[in-house]
Structure 1
Amino acid sequence: MHLYEHHISTKKAQQMSKITNMIREDIEKSGVSDGIVVVYSPHTTAGFTINENADPDVVHDMLCGFEKAFPTKTGYYQHMEGNSHAHIKTTCVGPSQTLILNQGELILGIWQDVYFCEFDGPRNRRFYVKIIEG
């Protein structure tokens, strides 16, 4: 099994950053051709999603949708840090994603990428990629 640690600096309060190529580089380094790839964030206000990579408006619309569903500022959050919205958004996308690795390639749809989702930035973050052969 192979474990890789990555560092990512986010520039905005909320953003989605493509990390698929980082994962592909890890796969190449590992030499594994078949198995499972898990990406994991140890942060409670950042996570991952797999979604469209062709039209940047999709990322914009997703962030707007998250904001509408879980607004940054409301009168009912009680968490003292003021980032309850980020905790809720991360709960929705999840702290990890599991991908299938087949013949050295990630199985993703033609329009899909893996995104690191920042909901409480800007920050310096880290995430892990675990490649399990099998």
Structure 2
Amino acid sequence: MKKINVQTNRRDEMIDVTNEVHQYIKETGIQNGTVIVYCPHTTAGMTINENADPDVKRDMLRRLDEIFPWEHSKDRHMEGNTAAHMKASYMGASQHVLIHHGDLVLGTWQGIYFCEFD
């Protein structure tokens, strides 16, 4: 198991961690199998999506804000970050990626993202 530290700069942010995961696979020498990328936070998540066009990240974050607005009159969580918890649950805490011949099995435009929501 390897811990990847991710520095975030904004409340809502998607950070590509594909290279860090790929480096781990190379370091371990794993040729075939599965890697699980897990986020142990209740206000952040993991997803796999396009990593070529930065507009995809902006569009996703904007749409998540539309679905889970930061301010909602019925939210009761005393920390005031219910939207972050909702977004994290929506994205999920982990992603499974296949490894074949020492490489991650991802589509041409796919990347693994850590998603910060708080």
Where does residue 79 of structure 1 map in the other structure?
A: 77
Where does residue 105 of structure 2 map in the other structure?
A: 107
* 1:24 counterpart SS class: helix
- Give aligned pairs, total: 118
For 2:110 and 2:4, how far apart are their aligned partners in 1? 21
Structure 1 segment 33-112 matched on structure 2, within 5 A: 33-112=31-110
What is the TM-score when the length of structure 2 is the normalising length?
A: 0.98
Q: List 4+ stretches of structure 1 deviating above 6 A.
A: none
For 1:11 and 1:76, how far apart are their aligned partners in 2? 28
Deviation for aligned residue 1:8? 1.1
For 2:79 and 2:7, how far apart are their aligned partners in 1? 21
For 1:17 and 1:6, how far apart are their aligned partners in 2? 12
For 2:62 and 2:74, how far apart are their aligned partners in 1? 20
Q: Percent identity?
A: 46
Deviation for aligned residue 1:76? 1.1
The answer to whether 1:24 aligns with 2:22 is: yes
* 2:20 counterpart SS class: helix
Deviation track 1:67-107 (CA, whole Å, cap 9, x = no partner) reads: 00000111111000001001000111100000000000111
Structure 1 segment 121-132 matched on structure 2, within 5 A: none
Q: For 2:43, give the aligned amino acid.
A: T
RMSD: 0.5
For 2:108 and 2:89, how far apart are their aligned partners in 1? 27
Task: Name structure 1 gaps, 5 residues minimum.
Answer: 121-134
Query: Per residue, is there more strand in 1 or in 2?
Result: 1
Q: For 2:27, give the aligned amino acid.
A: K
Deviation for aligned residue 1:54? 1.1
For 2:101 and 2:76, how far apart are their aligned partners in 1? 49
Task: Name structure 2 gaps, 5 residues minimum.
Answer: none
For 1:100 and 1:11, how far apart are their aligned partners in 2? 30
User: Greater relative contact order: 1 or 2 (C-alpha under 8 angstroms, separation 6 or more)?
Assistant: 1
For 2:21 and 2:63, how far apart are their aligned partners in 1? 27
